[in-house]
Amino acid sequence: MSSESDVIIIGAGSSGLSAAKELSRLGLSYTVVEGSHRIGGRAYSEEIAPGVWFDLGCSYLHQAHANPFVAIADELGIPVAKDKGDLFEDDRIGHYRNGRPLTEEELAVHNRFWEECHSAIEASVTRGKDLAISELVDLENPYCIPYMAAMASLNTLDIDETSAADYFDFGGGQDIPVPNGYGNLVATWGHDVPVSLNTKVEKIDWSGPGISAETSKGTLKGKTVLTTVSNGVLNAGDILFNPVLPDWKQEAALGLPTGTENKVCVHFDRDVFGPDGRGWHSTWHDSDKTEDHAAGFEASVMGLNTGIVFTGGRHAVWMEKQGQPAFEDFAVSRIADVFGNDVRNHVTRSIATAWTSEPWTKGSYSMATPGNAHQRQKLAKPLNDRLFFAGEATVQTAQATCHGAYLSGVRAAGEIAAVLT
């Protein structure tokens, strides 16, 4: 680990790695310190069965038309499923209430409700308001149950805690899966960046002309520091700053909490979905029981025998606390809602994520709370030409994504170069 550099980069996720590569291109020196034992951060793939990869964090190349990882994958010869980018288009999604598919009339009413929600959000944001989504939608509508579950899973917070403006700000585009894992793609792309692993930054002193960073492996000196850690980590006070961060910066991080999306990948010993079952399914019950909670799941998207069940917000935190067997049971029940109880006999293995208790992120990804959509810009602002900020939470329109994090690293490297050269 170099003891003196132009930039100390905290974190080797997508943003820290892209910043390192860009600094190198700009002729500046850096030291990347990573608290965990691996690079990639929230981009992380695990093999659930031989040759079958599950992404615990990012899995879709969102906004594929503007996503730099599409070209990176092409350059590295890593396949991406460009023909499967239509998964979330309306006509590809199945809807199941109390274990049976919606009729055409019900589907029309369901779709109209979603359109009304979208129009109400758009109208409110256009008027310059930043309200909670729950203030804008008809909570009594029977189709609000799957709507709330889908929104919580997408946004990581429940709709009463979600800024309509931040949600609306997200740019659209295709969502392309990566057959061998988005996490593997990021790890392959980032492997040439020298990183000091298992090195936790505990304290940043930016009181003098330079920076001193106390880590679990000793003190580092640098001209600047770039922090890429999640707001979950920042808000928990895991890194002490001397002097403390100004109030407006702390408010920006607090207004963009790292909420929770959790997933359970269930692997089956055979194709339980059939050729017509592949796709996205939304399932819910008219019941107050937590075990009947609504959820969406991906069925065998890559033609493999897996179902991946998604949940977000308070339910995701609660499921995480119940532990792996309860989470698997919940996930298998949702898959059984659509494909029948026989699926229970074919489960070989499951992996459930637990992002709230993950010490290096303390949550899944950022979402603005009502009134705080504007904080992303403030979070990105440097302090005293010494302390710089990148990471998914500092991004607008591609916020909360892996490629947004990448772009933030490039942006921050440019800001640093402008100061140092």
Ligand X SMILES: Cc1cc2nc3c(=O)[nH]c(=O)nc-3n(C[C@H](O)[C@H](O)[C@H](O)COP(=O)(O)OP(=O)(O)OC[C@H]3O[C@@H](n4cnc5c(N)ncnc54)[C@H](O)[C@@H]3O)c2cc1C
- Lookup: tokens for 289: 């029981």
Please identify, among the stretches 137-145, 229-237, 337-345, 378-386, the one whose residues bind ligand X according to the rule CB under 6 A: 229-237
Please identify, among the stretches 35-43, 91-99, 337-345, 375-383, the one whose residues bind ligand X according to the rule CB under 6 A: 35-43
From 73, 226, 229, 332, residue interacting with ligand X (rule: CB under 6 A): 229
8 Å CB contact between 26 and 241: no
Query: Per CB under 6 A, does 34 bind ligand X?
Result: yes
Query: Per CB under 6 A, does 228 bind ligand X?
Result: yes
Query: Per CB under 6 A, does 355 bind ligand X?
Result: yes
Unique residue bearing structure tokens 């499967």: 84
Query: Per CB under 6 A, does 33 bind ligand X?
Result: yes
Measure the CA dihedral 405/408/87/312, to 10°.
50
Q: How far is the CB of 328 from ligand X (least distance, A)?
A: 17
d(CA 404, CA 15): 8
From 6, 8, 9, 15, residue interacting with ligand X (rule: CB under 6 A): 15
| Nearest Cα to Cα of residue 227 among 217, 241, 243 | 241
3-state helix, strand, coil in the chain (%, to 5): 40, 25, 40
From 5, 31, 59, 155, residue interacting with ligand X (rule: CB under 6 A): 59
Residue closer to ligand X, measured from CB, 203 or 270: 203
d(CA 197, CA 191): 12
Q: Is 214 helix (H, G, I), strand (E, B) or coil?
A: strand
- Lookup: tokens for 336: 């059984």
Query: Per CB under 6 A, does 268 bind ligand X?
Result: no
Residue 282 — φ and ψ, nearest 5°? Answer: -110, 125
Please identify, among the stretches 30-38, 268-276, 297-305, 329-337, the one whose residues bind ligand X according to the rule CB under 6 A: 30-38
Residue closer to ligand X, measured from CB, 146 or 404: 404
From 391, 411, 413, 416, residue interacting with ligand X (rule: CB under 6 A): 391
Q: How far is the CB of 361 from ligand X (least distance, A)?
A: 5
Q: Which of residues 239-258 bind ligand X (CB under 6 A)?
A: 239
First to last CA, the chain: 23
User: Which secondary structure element, helix H or strand E, spans residue 294, and what is its range?
Assistant: none
Residue closer to ligand X, measured from CB, 111 or 250: 250
Query: Per CB under 6 A, does 373 bind ligand X?
Result: no
From 97, 249, 263, 267, residue interacting with ligand X (rule: CB under 6 A): 263
Query: Per CB under 6 A, does 184 bind ligand X?
Result: no
Q: How far is the CB of 393 from ligand X (least distance, A)?
A: 7
- Lookup: tokens for 134: 């729950």
Q: Which of residues 132-171 bind ligand X (CB under 6 A)?
A: none
For residue 243, whether the previous peptide bond is cis, meaning omega lies within 30 degrees of 0, is yes
| Nearest Cα to Cα of residue 180 among 73, 64, 311 | 73
From 233, 299, 331, 338, residue interacting with ligand X (rule: CB under 6 A): 233
Residue 132 — φ and ψ, nearest 5°? Answer: -70, 145
- Lookup: tokens for 180: 């061998």
The number of residues that bind ligand X (CB under 6 A) is 42
Inter-CA distances, 202 with 199, 215, 328, Å: 9, 5, 36
Residues of the shown chain interacting with ligand X in the complex, contacts defined by CB under 6 A: 10-16, 33-36, 41-43, 57-60, 62, 200-201, 228-230, 233, 238-239, 261, 263, 353, 355, 360-361, 364-365, 391-392, 400-403, 405
